[in-house]
Copies of this chain bind each other. A is one copy, B any other.
Amino acid sequence: MSTAELHAACEALAPLLGTWRGPGEGHYPTIPDFGYLEELSFGHVGKPFLAMTQRTRDPQSDAPLHTEVGYLRPQPNRVMEMVLTQPTGVVEIHHGSIEETGGGVVIELRTERVEGTRTAKPISEVRRRIEVAGDALVTEMWMAAMGQPLTHHLRADLIRA
């Protein structure tokens, strides 16, 4: 994304930088289980945030499934903010934490606000977790929607591309 030097505020996030690929699994009480292939990228332009782009595809047909884009805004004292939007008409505002693990990082996030357009399916709350350990990245997502409490929805096990 850039040849700029990583902003000092983003140093703990350096293990995220680059592109990650691998399989994922989704489940939710209201729908059948499903599998997907995910590509997840984190880039920077030398400013105090990372840009995130995610795309998933159908493992059989290779058709595009989901996509989302957003920004990670690390703050002092290991606080993390994230904003994210999806073509489903949903925006998420997250607050959470950054934990450096030696060769990796764990990011825990929970929505302070989830909002949608008039035709979007309402979502009450989202929890997200991203863990990097060397060249492996695990991303997980929990969601409260469709009358369900906060429930594990997605997990993908990615490797550095």
Contact = CB atoms under 8 A, between A and B. Distances in A.
B95 A93 contact: no
A119 interface: yes
Number of copies: 2
Contacts of A47: 64, 87
A51 B49 CA distance: 21
A46 interface: yes
Contact of A93 (B64, B69, B82, B115): B115
A78 interface: no
Given A64-B47, A113-B115, A119-B75, A85 B81 contact: no
A3 to B, nearest CB: 12
Nearest to A71: B87
* Majority SS at the chain A contact face: strand
Given A51-B67, A64-B47, A118 B83 contact: no
A90 B84 CA distance: 9
Interface string A10-53: 00000000000000000000000000000000000111010100
Contact of A117 (B64, B93, B117, B120): B93
- Top 4 nearest A-B pairs (CB, nearest first) are A91-B91, A81-B117, A71-B87, A49-B87
